[in-house]
């Protein structure tokens, strides 16, 4: 019989985009085999874009994890799936309002529709647990300019609201996924502060000094590096990864429910480690371009010693709030992106106008073509200009307004949130 006083969970980015990801069939087969021989209670996969791959994994692990959900979003799917030993009582998906631009075809985030997927499971001891699986917008790292990270900040704010709401209705929260952010960045600060989520790696690996790490293996074991590691065959040759130990982008976060007046069991992270670091058997390439991350939680039902154990959180948590500096930094980045978006849209609409003028000139000019063999060239040129005009109209007007409206929504939400906290704290705003 399974030990119901413990929960083991895994998160893994599978790098599974068909026709783009290399050696995909072999890697998915290895992932399915490894998961089939594991003893996890909950598994969250990202970038499992192909439904047939999801079905392959599902069939291999159904004996232990009979409950599963593949989530749909965007044009190509969210790439998110959750597998569970515990039954589902509900599921939903929240596509993020901003996921890059339609013109950024190489990144592809806009087409896949990055999202926060979740299921509510019924645990025999904890009751309702809301399990999130997410993959935040990838492009735009920790460096400037500010507008580069705005879409990920919008993702982080929207995700933190969902996780906070789940706890406020009395559910435990487990949040797994590829957050595309290292722990010290602004998106993670928003999530930690507003959703009051605890980082299982930080809880189980306190006081680790990065300066004491002297090898890539140590970085994986002590710092929780899951991406861009020199030990991963897919990142070992990348220029931006050279000279670094990699990044910790994958997380397993958790929190207790808000149940005022009730004494409830408490979740405690007791072990976390990076897994699936090996190569595909018989081959020289890694299972994915990310390593997996697993965590083991202990369910504490005897809370008599809770006050002496700082790792335990009371069943009722006082709401955690964004600091003033976090709100200011976020609004500054979103405002910079808003201005950049307006200027980009203006340029694109100018290009649209020029295309219209060129099309008029081409139509008029066809009456004086000196040779018939020029006709095909004019037709191809006209098709190209017409395509460019349509694209610039869509990008400059439709998407431009879409992006600006989404940014303005979050900016105003943050400003209202700040004023609301001032009122609640007895310091009414202007």
Catalytic positions are 290
Q: How far apart are CA 81 and CA 200, in angstroms?
A: 21
Helix, strand or coil, per DSSP, at residue 255: strand
Q: Are 121 and 89 in contact (CB under 8 A)?
A: yes
E strands, 65-114, in order: 67-70, 81-84, 88-95
CA 101, 102, 106, 108 dihedral sign is positive
CA 215/CA 203 separation, integer angstroms? 23
User: Where is 165: in which H helix or E strand?
Assistant: helix 150-168
Q: Are 66 and 91 in contact (CB under 8 A)?
A: no
Question: Closest Cα to residue 31, out of 18, 47, 20, 7?
Answer: 47
**Sign of torsion over alpha carbons 168, 173, 177, 183:** positive
According to DSSP, the β-strands at 250-255 and 172-178 are: antiparallel
- Residues 194 and 320 sit within 8 Å (Cβ to Cβ): yes
Phi, then psi, of 198 in degrees rounded to 5:
-100, 145
Q: How far is CA 191 from CA 23, 26, 196, in A?
A: 34, 35, 7
Altogether, the residues listed in the chain come to a count of: 430
For the chain, give percent helix, strand, coil, nearest 5.
40, 20, 40
């Amino acid at each position: 019989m399974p030990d119901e006083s413990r929960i083991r969970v895994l998160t893994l980015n599978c790098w599974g985009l068909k026709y783009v990801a290399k050696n995909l069939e072999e890697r998915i087969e290895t992932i399915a085999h490894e998961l089939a021989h594991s003893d996890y209670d909950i598994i969250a996969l990202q970038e499992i874009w192909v439904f047939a791959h999801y079905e392959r994994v599902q069939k291999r692990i159904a004996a232990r994890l009979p409950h599963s959900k593949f989530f749909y979003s965007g044009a190509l799917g969210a790439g998110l799936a959750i597998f569970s030993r515990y039954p589902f009582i509900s599921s939903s998906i929240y596509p993020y309002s901003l996921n890059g631009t339609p013109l950024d075809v190489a990144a592809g985030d806009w087409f896949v529709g990055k999202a926060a997927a979740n299921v509510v499971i019924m645990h025999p001891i904890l009751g309702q647990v809301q399990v999130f699986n997410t993959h935040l917008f990838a492009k735009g790292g920790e460096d400037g300019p500010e507008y580069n990270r705005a879409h990920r900040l919008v993702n982080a704010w929207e995700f933190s609201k969902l996780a906070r709401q789940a706890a406020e209705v009395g559910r435990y929260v487990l949040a797994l996924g590829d957050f595309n952010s290292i722990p010290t960045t602004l998106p993670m600060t928003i999530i930690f502060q507003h959703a009051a989520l605890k980082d299982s790696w930080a809880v189980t690996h306190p006081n680790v000094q990065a300066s004491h790490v002297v090898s890539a293996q140590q970085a994986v074991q002590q710092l929780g590096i899951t991406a861009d590691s020199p030990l991963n065959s897919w990142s070992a040759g990348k220029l931006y990864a050279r000279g670094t130990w990699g990044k910790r982008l994958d997380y397993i976060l958790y929190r207790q429910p808000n149940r005022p007046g009730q004494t409830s069991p408490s979740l405690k992270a007791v072990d976390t480690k990076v897994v699936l670091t090996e190569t595909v058997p018989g081959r020289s390439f890694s299972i994915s371009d990310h390593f997996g991350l697993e965590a083991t939680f202990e369910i504490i039902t005897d809370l008599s010693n809770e006050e002496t154990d700082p790792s335990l959180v009371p069943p009722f948590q006082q709401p955690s709030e964004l600091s003033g500096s976090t709100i200011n930094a976020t609004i500054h980045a979103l405002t910079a992106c808003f201005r950049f978006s307006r200027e980009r849209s203006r340029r694109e609409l100018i290009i649209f106008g020029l295309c219209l003028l060129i099309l008029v000139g081409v139509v008029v000019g066809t009456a004086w073509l000196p040779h018939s063999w020029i006709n095909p060239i004019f037709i191809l040129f006209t098709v190209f200009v017409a395509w460019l005009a349509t694209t610039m109209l869509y990008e400059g007007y439709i998407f431009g307004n879409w992006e600006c409206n989404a940014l303005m929504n979050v900016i105003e939400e943050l400003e209202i949130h700040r004023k609301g906290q001032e009122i609640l704290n007895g310091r009414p705003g202007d």
